Structure 1
Amino acid sequence: MLRIILFYVPMGTSALLAALTHVIINGVLARSANPDVTISSYAVALSLSFLIDLPMNIIRQTSSKYSRDRISFKSVARLTAIVSGALVAISAAIGWTPAGELLFRYVFGVKESLLEPTIGVYQVLAFMYVFTALRSLFQGVIINQLRTGWMTVGMAVRVAVMFAMSWFFIREGMTHDGRIGAWIFVVGLIIECIVAVWEGMALRRGLPPAREEQTVGKVGQLLPFYLPLLYSSMVLVLLNPSIQAALNKSMDPTLAVAAYAVAIQLANMVAWFCASVHQIVIQFYEDERRSVLLVVTCLSILSPALLLGVSSPLGGPLLEGLLGLHGPLLAEVRHLLLFLSVQALLFPWIDFVAGKCMMLGRTKAIMASKMVSVGLSLGLLLLLVYTAPGLNGLLAGLVTALAAPLELLVIWLWLKRLERRPAPPVLQETKPA
């Protein structure tokens, strides 16, 4: 049990520190003479860069699953190089061709006056995928070698450097351009990447040449694992814009959007800490099933308890004191947190079952559950917008609370079918050429 806790807590802590980095940058840009311009240009460019970076997030999971010997590591590295090369080409086209201007103007709805600063910010972010690729590849090795403390070290150093850069730019009065925020972000990312590569390379040298039970010699063998996870992430991209659009059609859109923005940030803090449950399953479930189940149970109790506590009078110092919420907005946020606590209760179990699917190398179940969940959510949003617009922000909370149980049910039923089938070829012995 202690081994699992020491493995997991650094990963959860790293996720929480990652959220802090965006607070740091927004604090710098808010001191601009025109904070609406600097923050908006930075936020839009960063949101697109995160969207394009989705394939890199899956690389870390793929690496942690398969990079257990040198031959398999080389296969994952080749996949990483292919994906990162494609992402850099796409981002370069966005940053330095008319395609970027068209994308920001007609897809993201950026005003004419903000086009140039937004594209300028994106040009700074355009090559971040090289560093997210290396970070994801070597963090996968760090995870499967159970050295996750280095992830916290990397993130802590990143935050410290970003704090120092922020202090310098504020002192020098260099807060007028959204590109300043992008440079702070990229430098912090490079620092985290350096730590991951430094430790990951040392661990890679200790990997065996090949493992009899699982050696992946070709990139194609990784695709049945990688692609469904990628499609799952792409499907989820549809959900947040749809929720925002639905809230804008509610009875009081200003209240609805503001309440949801506050509540979802609080809920995400909890979700990010629980977002690596699947790694516990991959690394420990076969040998320590009871301990893994106990950790997941504790997380599924603690997560909704935190949100329920914040939504109660006990959360007054946070909601009213720190966040400055009052009146209808405060009441709306508290009600929303009640609904979001349902998702917080089930999310660790959804990720637990997803981890079992990854352990089996069968990730189509994850894709199917996400598609069903998002499909139901979109249908409910459309229905509630026209039948109950007076729900305002609660519209999003109700949809989330109804979709989470269905997602868990679908992935659990699919897993039961998978467990009755033989393992896929990629999990069987593959003799290196």
Structure 2
Amino acid sequence: MFPFRRKDDIYCRPQTGASVTSVQFTWLEMVWMVVVSLSYLLGYAIQISIVVDKYTQEEPPDNCSLYLVFFLLPHLAAGLKNLQYHYREAREEEGEDGAKEWIITILFLPFSPLIRFARAWKFGIGEKDNWEDGIRYVDEMVTVGVLRLFEVFLGDGPTICLLLRDDVWGRSVDWKEYVQGPQDILRCGPQCNLQPQNPIEFWTIFRMIFLLSKMAQCVTFYLVIVKRLQHLQQPEYFHHLSNSNSRQGRLNFFATLILYAAHFFFIGSRVTGYSMVGTACGAWVYFIIGAHWLVNTCWHLVSVVSSNGLTPARSLSSLVVGGVWLIALTNEQGGRQLGRFILYYMMAFFETVVCGYLWNTAMAGSGDFFAYKASWFLLVILMMGIVLQIVYYSVCHPSKPSFSKEGLNCCSGDRRGAADSQQHSTL
């Protein structure tokens, strides 16, 4: 998942001996950094407002404290990960171990992506005087992507599941009024004006859509920027590509939008299914998530053993990656991808069927507004995500995927297999 070069588990910068003929930090990167920074800060503010809103209600929802846990935990985890990165950098680079840098890293630990954004901005501006700073800019942005994956996997995903439980499935009568209007027309005279008892407000919908959009943006950002770093690390694998942007691993706006939309719907299907099971069947959701997490972790461990060998650090990395894969496949090592994607989406489809079955079994005969609609909605958004992913790899992928007897080949000129990608470590 995390394509940093390592030697004896020590973090290393990508090799920079090859000549660089393109600028890494352009005005588009400036705009992108501003957009991502604002998204991060707005997401932070929305999560705080959600916690405050739930705790100030007259009747707080069940397990209200989970909102606070899923707000604090991801930022703390990302901050500790950033502290680990800073420690490694301090051992390898002069000037990174000063007291000022340590104070900033510790003081702003809950806002660790902002520290990395500042470093990336510094390296990007410095590219005018030193081209190696352009590579370091890309490297810093990959680190930002890793830290934000911690946040969306540990924080935004569980928070959306809780919001769906409390504000959608738990308010089915209010949503029925929102869609169909008040139902007591027969009891009302011709001149009366019926109003919903508990109207669905814009804020109720907006915060769920925004957090889901933020999750899709974070995953898309990581995949796009890590592709850039891979092309910088191993440019010899991409000389066969005719387009200069493809050789650099850059996506155009349309391709990025398609990739974002694919993850928006796919992640939406994951959190929808988990929230449905959590609402209707309670503890069953922990079994489903735990089983899927275990499968993902074992899958990633197998790939680590076949390439780099097994160490405690990589084992912990596989545990984290297994959790991230609950919402998106981020294994972008190149080579034989078709089998990898087929296996991943088969597991996702099977998980969707299980979630829909448990929901239908629990809600059968209840008369709930979502009793039959929820399962169809879950299946539709899953299929939309898969179709958009197929469109992306068919017409938008920068490395021109092609079919062969080895599967769907992409991302490399010599079509190397996953087992040969030893330069890509996992943490």
TM-score between the two structures when normalised by the length of structure 2:
0.33
Higher helix share goes to which structure?
1
Larger Rg: 2
TM-score between the two structures when normalised by the length of structure 1:
0.32
